[in-house]
Amino acid sequence: MDENALFTKLVSFTTSVHRVTQELSLNAKADSITPIQYNILEYVTVSQSVTPSEISDCLHMSMPNTSRELRKLIEKGLIEKIGDLGDRRKHYIRLSNEGETMMKEAFATIEYRFQARIQNASKEDLKEIDRALEILQTKLFY
């Protein structure tokens, strides 16, 4: 196995992934939030109950900027902040009902486009895709 060739393949692969995910999510998010705010909502949706510090770490943004964007999302009524009972410095962020509705809509749009993209795939193709996703997820993109 030529590892350099594998790297080249990876570069073109990740480029494709970025392009396709961008196409799938184009205009899926409400106009009332910025791209970064959407990223935060997406992260909160997937991870459920995270602290501002975790958001800061995982999305590679500074605490002050994280704090600002979380405040804006709270002002927009999309998330809620709950204090930790044990450690009163800590807070947990979770989606509000409104936030959940918004994210469900966004995901529905994206899923619709995804289904359109794989509508011509055979059952065997889908199985192969499923297996390939699993392999890469565990062995490369862990």
Strand 91-95 with 79-83, pairing: antiparallel
Element (H, E) at 94: strand 91-95
Q: How many residues bind DNA (CB under 7 A)?
A: 25
Choose, by CB under 8 A, the member of 38, 72, 107, 109 that binds a second copy.
107
Least distance (Å) from a second copy to the CB of residue 1? 4
How many degrees, rounded to 5, is the angle at CA 129 between CA 124 and CA 133?
A: 150
End-to-end CA distance of the chain: give it in Å, rounded.
Answer: 21
- By the rule CB under 7 A, 44 interacts with DNA: no
Two tokens at 5? 């060739």
Quick one: which segment of 65-73, 77-85, 92-100, 125-133 binds a second copy (CB under 8 A)? 125-133
Element (H, E) at 57: helix 52-58
- By the rule CB under 7 A, 35 interacts with DNA: yes
Residue 127, contacted partner among a second copy, DNA, none, CB below 5-8 A by kind: a second copy
Quick one: which segment of 29-37, 73-81, 90-98, 118-126 binds a second copy (CB under 8 A)? 118-126
Task: Enumerate binding residues for DNA (CB under 7 A).
Answer: 34-37, 51-53, 61-71, 81, 86-91
